[in-house]
Chains A and B, each alone.
Chain A
Amino acid sequence: MTALLEVQSLSKQFLGSEGKALTDVNFSVSEGEFVSIIGPSGAGKSTLLRCINRMIDASSGEITFDDRNVTKLKKKELKMVRTKIGMIFQHYNLVDRLSVIENTLHGNLGKKSAIAGVLGLYSQEEKEQALRILSVLGLESLIYKRADQLSGGQKQRVGIARALIQNPRMLLCDEPIASLDPNSAKVIMDHLRDISTSMGITVLVNLHQVDVALKYSDKIIGINSGQVVFNGSPAAITKEDIQRIYGSEAEDLIFDLGGIHAS
């Protein structure tokens, strides 16, 4: 398998803050892999994910996506790369007052000219595709509902639909289930896993919950205070690793680990 994404000695220091949010981060992700990034709150997971599609500019280091150095791209090339990367957010980030189908079609805006984008001119194919994706996600009965009338789990599925309509090579998911109840969380994680397996899309997920990461991932990257402290398969993770990733928070999590490995 070839590496789709490669992160090399990535560091980030925010203006006016002491200490680095990310320090010398290195890892690579292969085509079609399902990778979870785990770590305590404030470890730098969100910053790392946003550096990859340059929602945040890294201070130093290199990010190679599909053989292009993302950190050096000009505005137009960056937009092109972003159309190939879908992003999913903890708070869904939908336009609340627009319908499910309009929110889904927003995923196509990156490919449009300025005028077509402003006027929202979508082709019949794009609309067909939106409908198909929505029905795969079980939202076909809700396409004209306003986004603010949906439940959290439904909103996140619209978020996934918006990302999928981009025909992405990779999905970046920032805490996709942190605001959801356990049942909806399972539905979302199952969909993400399915997208990775059956569509061959690479998925990179920030997660707070170790048990979920162990259950779904091909690979786990553990982060603490902006540094990668674990990088390996879920089977290889040990109590000590968890301790290093989560520090003092680890106590309650280790109990879970035993249960997961046993099952």
Chain B
Amino acid sequence: MEANGQVTTAGQLVKQRPRRQIRVKTWNRSTVVTRATLLILAGLTVYAFFSFDYKEIDFVQAMLATFANLKSMFLEPHLQRFTFGHALYQVLVTLGLAFLTTLFGAVIAVFFGLLAAENLSSKWVSSVVKGVVAFIRAVPTVLWVLIFAVAAGLGSVAAVIGMTFHSVSYLVKAYSESFEELDKGVIEALKASGAGWWQIIFQAVLPSSLTYMISWTFLRFEINFAVAVAMGAAAGAGGIGFDMFMASNFYLDIREIGAITYFILAVAILLEITAAKLKKRLT
């Protein structure tokens, strides 16, 4: 309490005369960088709006047209050029592409994930793998697919292999981080008991990271479904995405796009709910 031991009440504390200005805000590196980031992003955004190539579009009219389009898309969808069954089958094809990509990606990523985990491999190997992975991730998926399409031709092979690149880089990052969370003591204990590298991997590392790996892998499957739709449209990979591309670019049929969008939306939301349930059950 007060130095003279006087009884002080909260009410009395207020009555003291102010002596000096008291600043409340504090400035440190973190707040400076936060504000600078926000300011720069805002500035770039404003600049971007001035620099856009609007191509003499009447903005209001285009917005109204979009709303009208969205209305007929979602409220009056129809399937004209193919049947419900065909659409369902094409969704299955897209899911198949996503599944194969995720499977190949996961298998390859487990191996590289182990090499990328600092506690399981050497620092040098880890940074090389992480560097390669960062490079792979920096190339947009569609470009991987198109590059492969030159050698393999447009189709499911180029699509799956091209999409696998990104899945690998995404999962290597996720897996290696969950490997690195493994308690140091566990590895030490097994090493002390004379276990080799592979034994440690199969008896300690994989079992304890398995739940994380499953939920990350399923999350990637969810992403890969969206990617597979896009690749169907942009790189001729087939599936529902290709039908959407045709409806949009060749038949200019907004209502058919609406119907296809409903299919995609239904599957995507189903996958999201499954992923959330899976995550809840695993953790």
Contact = CB atoms under 8 A, between A and B. Distances in A.
- The answer to whether any beta carbons of A and B sit under 8 Å apart in the complex is yes
Interface of A: 97, 99, 101-102, 105, 120, 122, 124-125, 127-133, 136, 144, 146, 164-165, 167-168, 194, 198-201
Given A105-B24, A124-B21, A131-B22, A201 B16 contact: no
A199 B24 contact: no
Interface stretch (B7-15, B155-163, B167-175): B7-15
Given A129-B14, A164-B10, A198-B8, A99 B26 contact: yes
A201 B13 CA distance: 14
A164 B8 CA distance: 12
B43 interface: no
Contacts of B21: 124
Interface centre among B2, B13, B21, by most chain A C-beta atoms within 10 angstroms, is B13
A136 B8 contact: yes
A124 B22 contact: yes
B35 to A, nearest CB: 13
Contact of B10 (A102, A131, A167, A194): A167
Q: Which of B10, B21, B30 is the most central at the interface, judged by chain A CB atoms within 10 Å of its CB?
A: B10
A154 B13 CA distance: 21
Interface of B: 1-2, 7-11, 13-14, 16, 18-19, 21-22, 24-26, 30
Contacts of A105: 24
A128 B11 contact: no
Contacts of A168: 10
B8 A101 contact: no
A201 B10 contact: yes
B11 A125 contact: no
A71 B18 CA distance: 39
A120 B24 contact: yes
B10 to A, nearest CB: 5
A140 to B, nearest CB: 12
Given A198-B1, A198-B8, A198-B9, A125 B24 contact: no
- Which 8 pairs, one residue from A and one from B, show the smallest C-beta to C-beta distance? A127-B22, A124-B18, A132-B13, A199-B9, A99-B26, A144-B26, A198-B7, A129-B13
Contact of A167 (B11, B22, B25, B30): B11
Contacts of B11: 167
A128 B7 contact: no
Nearest to A86: B10
A194 B1 CA distance: 9
B10 A199 contact: yes
Contacts of B30: 97
